[in-house]
Structure formats: C-alpha cells, structure tokens
Structure 1
Amino acid sequence: MDELYFQLGWQHILNWDAYDHILFVIALSAIYVLRDWKKVLVLVTAFTIGHSITLALSVLHIIRIPGALIEFLIPVTICITAFSNIVRKEEAPRHLQLNYFYALFFGLIHGLGFSNYLKSLLGSQANIVQPLLGFNIGLEFGQILIVLTVLLLSAVAVNMAGVKRRDWNMFLSSATFGIAFLMVLQGIRAALIN
C-alpha cells in the first residue's frame, strides 16, 4: 500500500471542503447507536466498495461522466438517504437491505466525485494499483473516523442526555437533509445560469 495515497485518502474524506462526503457518511450512520458498530462498519465498507469500482473505472478512463452531473447527484444521494432515515417507521433498523443498497449504489456516484481529484494526483503514472489501493484504504479509514464520531455523539445524546433514539435520528437526519437540499438547489441554480 502506498502511504502517501493512504494519507491523501483519509485527508480528502475529512476535508471540510469536501463536506458532501462527510454528510453522506453521517446520513448512512445517523440511525445507528454505538452497539450497532458492526452493522455500520459493513455499510461503510459497502460504500467503499461502490466508490472503489467507479474510482478505478474513471481513473482508467473506462467511464467518463460530466463533473457537473456528479456534483449535482452527490447531494441528491445525501437527501435520499437522510429522507429515508426521517420516514423510517422503526426506531432501530431491522432490515438493512435498503441501507446496503444506498451505501453500495450511491458509493458508485461518490467514487466518480473522488476520481477527478485522484486523476490529478496520479497524472500519467503507469501503475495505479498501489496508489488506488492506498487512497481507498485511506478513504475507508477516514469514513470510520466519521462513523465513530457519529456513534459516540449518538451514545452521548441517547444514553447520557436521555434523548430518544428516534428524536436523535430525526435531528441528525433532518439537519443533514437540509444542508444537502441547499446543495441540490445550488446545483440547479448553477445549471440554469450556465
């Protein structure tokens, strides 16, 4: 594994300039509490698998999708995930199939968002396997840090402050939805201006 790309991966996901990816990980993990850490780890790994696929395909120039479309779709994925959390009937997730679908499928879209950044780093480098692996492992590490933060905040809110789990989910998911919805509106506005 390439340590430089590992570092770039986790720094990229934790960069406040790339807060859209942070918001997506928050939306994915908002419905969970600390005891669900294994389920969340599987979700984050599904997200990593999704974005690893399109990241590799894009870096290898096998697929090309306009950056403006991807930048619009990323906040849409956040809105869908957060909205799904808001309308969820049960307090604790029983069936994770929809969450896994979101993580994997939307990870494909987010991978395209990472690809321009990684392509600029790689330049004309011939061997991309090690840098790609290092970058993806770094992203996974960064995502796990975000998830741990969300789960610890959930533990404080639910277990220590006595906030109902459903209320915490509504707060976190609604805030995430609101921010992402503003991003969608900005994307629409930018498209109309151009």
Structure 2
Amino acid sequence: MHDFPLYFELGWQHICDWQGYDHILFVTALCGVYLLADWRKVLILVTAFTIGHSLTLALSALNVLHINTSLIEFLIPVTIVITSFINITRKKRSPSTVKLTYALALFFGLIHGLGFSNYLKSLLGKSQNIVPQLFAFNIGLEFGQLLIVTVVLLLAFVMLNLMRIQRREWTLFLSSAIFGIALIMCIERYQLIHFR
C-alpha cells in the first residue's frame, strides 16, 4: 500500500482538474439544488454516483469492459445536460422524484466511471495487481468529489442566506449556466465522433 498516497492524490486531482471540468460540472449540477441542511440527501446522492462509477472504473481498469472512448466522452456531457434540465424543469421535490434522482446518479456514475478509466489505465501501465492502486485512486476521486460538493453547498448558503437570492432563482441560474456549457460540449464532441 506504499502507492496509496500517490494514487489517492492522482484521484482527487483528476476530478478537481479545471481542464477536465466536465466532472466538476456534473457534480455541481447533481448537488446544486440542495442546501447545507440537506447534507444527508447529498451524501446518499453522491454515494449512488460513487457506486456507479466505482463499478465501471474497476471493470474497465481490469479489462473486463471495453467501450468506445469517443462515445463515452460524448455521453459525459449528455449526463450533465440531462441533470441540469431536470433541475430547471422540476419545481417540487417529491419522494418519487428524489428516488429517480438517486437512480439517475447511479446510472450516470456508470458512464463517468468509464471516463475515468482511460486515465487510470494509462497510469497503471502493465501492472499485475492493480487492486490497491484502483482502490486508492477511487478514494481520491471521492475525496475530490466531496471537496466540490462542499464548495457548491457553501456557495448556495452564501447566495441564499447572505445575498438573499431566492432558492428557485439560484437553481435556475446555476443549472441554466451548466446546461449551456454542457450543451456546447455535447455538440463539439458529437462532431468529433461524426466526422472521424
């Protein structure tokens, strides 16, 4: 386990890297409609996403699952567009919509895990036993994800409590901005797939 600190650091740095901002956008869209008081719901939501991407990250890194990289790079912003669109159009949260959100987080986690897997494979090279590195990298990803969630929840607290912005207006602003950025990413990545 002497590689644990290295792979842990690589994991959190990878998800918090501004050059790979699609993951930051997704986590922001996922938890951007919640408040600090909703931390238990956010924890369940993040755990659902974690389970999904941990599964495909492991399967892909262990060469059990092989998916076209260009397709995954296109599907990642699609998940952001869908999540943002749901945030924009949903006015009230009922128990059934919360369960749907958890299910979508799990499913979208599967897609994002495949996105992380190519980066991890390039780090691992031809290592025989990758389980410790895979575990450390995944824990690092989760740590980075929790950093993003903390920043988003604190930002929501400032906007709603100190700036006195209405919760619905904050949700519309944040989700619309993310929707627009992700839609542009979808178009660009679709063109890359289409014209290859």
**Shorter-chain TM-score range:** over 0.9
Q: TM-score scaled to structure 1, two decimals?
A: 0.96
Q: How many residues align?
A: 193
> 8 Å contact 1:76–1:180 — kept in the other structure?
yes
2:142 corresponds to which residue?
140
The alpha-carbon deviation at position 4 of structure 1 amounts to 0.9
Q: Residues 5-58 of structure 1: CA distance to partner in whole angstroms, max 9, x if unpaired?
A: 111000000001110000000010111011111211221121111101001100
2:52 corresponds to which residue?
50
Quick one: which of 27, 33, 40 aligns to 2:29? 27
Extract structure 1 runs of 4+ deviating beyond 2 A: 92-95
Matches of 1:48 and 1:101, distance apart in 2: 12
Provide the secondary structure at the position in 2 that maps to 1:96.
helix
1:182 corresponds to which residue?
184
Identity over aligned residues, as a percent?
Answer: 62
Question: Which amino acid is 2:131 matched to?
Answer: V
Matches of 2:151 and 2:38, distance apart in 1: 13
Q: Residues 93-130 of structure 1: CA distance to partner in whole angstroms, max 9, x if unpaired?
A: 65421111121100000000000000010111111111
Moved more, 182-191 or 142-151: 182-191
1:167 corresponds to which residue?
169
Q: TM-score scaled to structure 2, two decimals?
A: 0.95
Long gaps (5+) in structure 1: none
The alpha-carbon deviation at position 60 of structure 1 amounts to 1.0
Question: Which amino acid is 2:172 matched to?
Answer: M
Matches of 1:140 and 1:98, distance apart in 2: 22
Matches of 2:191 and 2:152, distance apart in 1: 31
RMSD: 1.1
1:116 corresponds to which residue?
118
Moved more, 115-124 or 42-51: 42-51
Matches of 2:103 and 2:89, distance apart in 1: 17
Matches of 1:14 and 1:4, distance apart in 2: 16
Pairing of 1:57-76 with structure 2 (within 5 A): 57-76=59-78
The alpha-carbon deviation at position 191 of structure 1 amounts to 2.3
Provide the secondary structure at the position in 1 that maps to 2:48.
helix
> 8 Å contact 2:71–2:193 — kept in the other structure?
no
Moved more, 40-49 or 53-62: 40-49
